[in-house]
A and B are shown apart, each in its own frame.
Chain A
Amino acid sequence: MKRRQIASKVLGGLSALIVVFLWAPVVLIIVFSFSSNKYGVAWEGFTLSWYAKLLQNTDVKDALFRSLVVAGVTVVVSTLVGTMTAYGLYKLSFRGKQFLRTSILLPLVFPSVVTGSALLVFFTRLIHIPLGFPSIIIAHIVFCSPLAVFIILGRMQRFDWSWEEAAMDLGATPVRTFMRVTAPQLLPAIAASAMLIFPWSFDDFVITYFVAGVGSTTLPIYVFSQLRFGSTPVLNTIGTLFVTVTMLGLILLGLLQKREKR
């Protein structure tokens, strides 16, 4: 028993240390976003002026708008594609299914420079897709859909599909069965993937940078261009917003999961 306690303390300490390590920069960003230090690197006194400046900054607002639109569309399309794909992959068996599954994994794990550059060349040289919203949204859908696929697929593995048989046996066509029985069961997974895809898309920099072209600045691109000049407090405020958005999304997700467990 004693050994167990020692082990748990040691491991716990390590975990806490890592969590601190992971959060330290984030905490600093949040803290300094309220600091009146001009460069946002030290604490000088509480102020909300940077947030005020943020609200006035049209560039930021434009970029924010673009990011929100992209993320919004991406979430909707990706979860839709993800649900359909997961359903098809789970239910059907055919030759080449393994191959398809591995291929779907590719855009998810590939280094961003590879997908970004490949898509850029593709958009400019092969199929002429205008750089800007179209190219960005397509690119985001490409690397976010797999996430939805695997989250929903994972949830499907734990299903008892006899519900579908029962529904059909009771008179529901396959479409009605999906609407009345399957989709409600999948809702938690769909919501989970939506809440994970939104920050993933909202926060993406590298791929977006490659395919955005001139003038289509999303928030991360804006941040990058500003960071060249060194960190400023306004960036801290943006960072704080990012983190808050993600936190809210994940908290919502956690609450949803808790509710469903009951």
Chain B
Amino acid sequence: MKESETKKAAQKESICLEVRDVVKRFPGVTAVDHVSLQIEEGEIFSFLGPSGCGKSTLLRLVAGLENQDQGDIFIAGKVVNDLPPYKRDCSTVFQSHALFPHMSVEKNIGFGLVERKIPKAEIRKRVMDKINLVNLTGLEDRFPHQLSGGQMQRVALARSLVLEPSVLLLDEPLAALDRKLRKEMQVELRRIQREVGTTFLNVTHDQKEALSLSDRIAVMNAGVLLQIGTPNDIYERPRTKFVAEFMGATNIFDGRVAGTEDGMIEIKTPGGIRMFACDPKGMAHQDISGCSIHPELVQLMPSKDAAPSIDPRTKTVMQGRVHEVIYLGDFSEITVRLEGMDRLLTVFQTRTGEGVIRRLAKDEPVAVQWDCHHTNVLVE
């Protein structure tokens, strides 16, 4: 008994931020709908979702810039519900970076330290330390209007980091940057986080960014928390239709469990097609509403090249006709009209499959197949 208790206590200490059953309503819409989660110390955690899903609102609730209607928020174990933002142990990097235009880079970064009444010499030391950390050495006397977008973002980051908060909140910090810069900054952010060790709470609508940056991701939509997991979890095994679509697994089949066999379950679509998938642990069979498969995991070949008979419990095979081929450079997107179903299947064919693509014409009969182990089971 005692050992598990101490283990639990130790675990509790390493939980940096906890959100408990938080609700926030605005006139006409519930922005955050009974969300609960725990974030561990030192991890990069991302809220991922489309615009308007409530992720930014949730972030602002944590920061104290809004107050929730219900629920509690704990930072480093302390309840912060009634604390104004300047008393909470967290710091925000805003999307518009919100640098003070009338202050130099150095003064901007030192802003919070001045509020803490830290002596000037010490402030300068800490500020210069952070300037070096974010690679802005030499620019400390510049003013915001003299900086580029990426530089401004770094100043904002340094400004928040210098306060050594328990958790650093980032509100779509890279959204305003162009693609190349965004990629660079993602790498930078990871590096900085690893060096400083602060817990990062990142909000983004960019799936790739969340995947590359985060230790764990929480997917949200319409104020509801849909799934929490590692990037691998979220991508390989999305649990709801929304999450699957959002992560790119656009091939979704509705269906119900028709039977189980040897650790596999059989899913039957309304149209009568049977598919097999691995029996997922922890999901009640009656909750299962369908399955999905990522386009890049589907193999495509002309019908005549398909193997004659395959055990449906190892590979799912379907017949169809080519609907459209879109060439995208590093890969091509092929949509196939499946036989017997009024739907299209999307297949990503990389360059190695060039030979196949060149031979395909519209309406040509093709066969698609994929490994049953790759089929992902969905609940609603």
Q: A–B direct touch, CB within 8 Å, in complex?
A: yes
Q: Any chain A CB within 8 A of the CB of B111?
A: yes
CB within 8 Å: A-B pair count: 59
Residues of A within 8 Å of B115, CB to CB, are 170-172, 176
Residues of A within 8 Å of B116, CB to CB, are 171
Q: Any chain B CB within 8 A of the CB of A57?
A: no
Residues of B within 8 Å of A173, CB to CB, are 84, 86
A166 touches B102 (CB 8 A): no
Residues of A within 8 Å of B341, CB to CB, are none
**Alpha-carbon distance between A171 and B112 when the two chains are bound, in angstroms:** 6
A169 touches B86 (CB 8 A): yes
| Contacts A167-B111, A170-B159 given; does A162 touch B98 at CB 8 Å | yes
| Contacts A171-B115, A172-B111 given; does A166 touch B86 at CB 8 Å | no
Encode contact with A along B104-138: 1 for CB under 8 Å, 0 otherwise.
00000001100110000000000000000000000
Which residue of chain B has the shortest Cβ distance to A161 in the bound complex? B98
Residues of A within 8 Å of B90, CB to CB, are 169
Q: Any chain B CB within 8 A of the CB of A163?
A: yes
B86 touches A160 (CB 8 A): no
| Contacts A162-B94, A176-B115 given; does A169 touch B100 at CB 8 Å | no
| Contacts A162-B98, A163-B98, A163-B100 given; does A169 touch B65 at CB 8 Å | yes
Q: Any chain A CB within 8 A of the CB of B63?
A: yes
**Residue in contact with A166 in the complex, picked from B84, B92, B163, CB distance below 8 Å:** B92
A160 touches B102 (CB 8 A): no
A168 touches B98 (CB 8 A): no
Give the size of the chain A interface in residues (CB under 8 angstroms): 17
Nearest-neighbour CB distance to chain B for A167, whole angstroms, equals 7
Residues of A within 8 Å of B86, CB to CB, are 168-173
Which residue of chain B has the shortest Cβ distance to A170 in the bound complex? B112
A184 touches B102 (CB 8 A): yes
Residues of A within 8 Å of B227, CB to CB, are none
Nearest-neighbour CB distance to chain A for B127, whole angstroms, equals 13
Cβ < 8 Å to B, chain A residues 153-183 = 160, 162-163, 165-173, 176, 180-181
Q: Any chain A CB within 8 A of the CB of B96?
A: yes
Q: Any chain B CB within 8 A of the CB of A185?
A: yes
Residues of B within 8 Å of A169, CB to CB, are 63-65, 85-86, 90-92, 160
**Alpha-carbon distance between A107 and B55 when the two chains are bound, in angstroms:** 47
**Alpha-carbon distance between A162 and B63 when the two chains are bound, in angstroms:** 13
Residues of B within 8 Å of A168, CB to CB, are 65, 84-86
Residues of B within 8 Å of A166, CB to CB, are 92, 94, 98-100, 156
Cβ < 8 Å to B, chain A residues 163-222 = 163, 165-173, 176, 180-181, 184-185
Encode contact with A along B300-335: 1 for CB under 8 Å, 0 otherwise.
000000000000000000000000000000000000
A171 touches B102 (CB 8 A): no
Residues of A within 8 Å of B100, CB to CB, are 163, 166-167, 181
**Alpha-carbon distance between A221 and B90 when the two chains are bound, in angstroms:** 61
Nearest-neighbour CB distance to chain B for A168, whole angstroms, equals 5
**Alpha-carbon distance between A169 and B84 when the two chains are bound, in angstroms:** 9
A170 touches B65 (CB 8 A): no
**Residue in contact with A170 in the complex, picked from B84, B101, B102, B111, CB distance below 8 Å:** B111
**Alpha-carbon distance between A212 and B336 when the two chains are bound, in angstroms:** 90
**Alpha-carbon distance between A163 and B94 when the two chains are bound, in angstroms:** 9
Which residue of chain A has the shortest Cβ distance to B145 in the bound complex? A262
Residues of B within 8 Å of A165, CB to CB, are 65, 85, 92, 94, 98
**Alpha-carbon distance between A173 and B115 when the two chains are bound, in angstroms:** 9
Residues of A within 8 Å of B111, CB to CB, are 167, 170, 172, 180
A160 touches B85 (CB 8 A): no
Nearest-neighbour CB distance to chain A for B146, whole angstroms, equals 11
- Specify which of A162, A168, A169 lies most central, judged by the most chain B CB atoms within 10 Å of its CB: A169
A170 touches B163 (CB 8 A): yes
- Specify which of A160, A165, A166, A170 lies most central, judged by the most chain B CB atoms within 10 Å of its CB: A170
Residues of B within 8 Å of A176, CB to CB, are 115
Residues of B within 8 Å of A167, CB to CB, are 100, 111
Residues of B within 8 Å of A170, CB to CB, are 86, 91, 111-112, 115, 159-160, 163
**Alpha-carbon distance between A99 and B332 when the two chains are bound, in angstroms:** 62
Residues of B within 8 Å of A172, CB to CB, are 86, 111-112, 115
- Specify which of A162, A166, A167, A173 lies most central, judged by the most chain B CB atoms within 10 Å of its CB: A166
Nearest-neighbour CB distance to chain A for B160, whole angstroms, equals 7
Which residue of chain B has the shortest Cβ distance to A262 in the bound complex? B145
**Alpha-carbon distance between A168 and B91 when the two chains are bound, in angstroms:** 10
Nearest-neighbour CB distance to chain B for A230, whole angstroms, equals 54
**Alpha-carbon distance between A180 and B107 when the two chains are bound, in angstroms:** 11
Residues of A within 8 Å of B156, CB to CB, are 166
Cβ < 8 Å to B, chain A residues 11-68 = none
**Alpha-carbon distance between A120 and B318 when the two chains are bound, in angstroms:** 94
Encode contact with A along B35-72: 1 for CB under 8 Å, 0 otherwise.
00000000000000000000000000001110000000
List B residues at the A interface (Cβ < 8 Å): 63-65, 84-86, 90-92, 94, 96, 98-102, 111-112, 115-116, 156, 159-160, 163
8 closest A-B pairs by beta carbon, nearest first, are A170-B112, A166-B98, A171-B115, A162-B98, A168-B85, A171-B112, A169-B92, A171-B86
10 contacts between A and B (CB under 8 A): A162-B96, A162-B98, A163-B101, A165-B94, A169-B63, A169-B160, A171-B116, A172-B111, A173-B86, A185-B102
Besides the contacts A160-B98, A172-B111, what 7 more A-B pairs have beta carbons closer than 8 Å?
A: A160-B96, A165-B98, A166-B94, A169-B63, A169-B91, A170-B115, A171-B163
